Amino acid sequence: MNDFAASTGTATDELAAYEDAMINIYNNNFGESFEDIAASMGQIKQIMGEGLGADELEKMTTNALMLRDTFDFDVSESVRAANSLMDQFGLSADEAYNLIAQGAQNGLNQNGDLLDVLNEYSVQFSMMGYDAEDMFNMLSNGAENGTWSVDKLGDAMKEFNIRTKDGSQTTEEAFQKLGIVVSDIFCKGAKIFLAI
């Protein structure tokens, strides 16, 4: 607990709740030792910030250690990915970790880049109006249809997002080839915006 307190700046009078969380995690057979659990808890608290209480830290640490032990995901990286999903899509920590685990089970980490993709591209999917399940379904569909890396799928969404908003001639021509009249989209979008 001294290491945890030093790495997070947690006050001595608050340590009892965190110690209980560490013991619960250990008693549920997660982590290699108390030192391992304390180090993981410290990393998570540093990433998530002061507002993370002992109960939520216990859940996140359990999930992060489970992903580490099952899929060899680094604790800090999985926390960053879960945090990105929580920020962009309003998910709980449990929902975010469940989606990450399901994605890994479904082969989305075949090149070891799933967590990086979630960190980098969640914002792009969110900006386009998709929810987290939509994002994972798109990545899964692409992987099932032979895409070499889910990073390429995320990058394609990012580029699509950028190009549909830049209003360039090439964007308009691409939409016209698909049978979509760009001016109609912008007119309808403006009417909807003005109605709101």
- Chain-centroid distance of CA 161 in Å reads 19
User: Residues 46-87: pLDDT tens digits?
Assistant: 999 878 889 999 999 999 999 999 999 999 999 999 999 999
Tell me the pLDDT tens digit for each residue of 183-196. Answer: 666 555 444 333 43
> End-to-end CA distance of the chain, in Å?
52
On average, the pLDDT of the chain sits at 86
Angle (deg, nearest 10), helices 93-105 and 54-71: 10
Q: Are 113 and 150 in contact (CB under 8 A)?
A: yes
Q: Side chain identity at 149, as an amino acid letter?
A: S
* Widest CA span in the chain: 66
Backbone torsions φ then ψ of 154, nearest 5 degrees? -65, -40
**Model confidence over 3-17: pLDDT tens digits?**
888 777 777 777 888
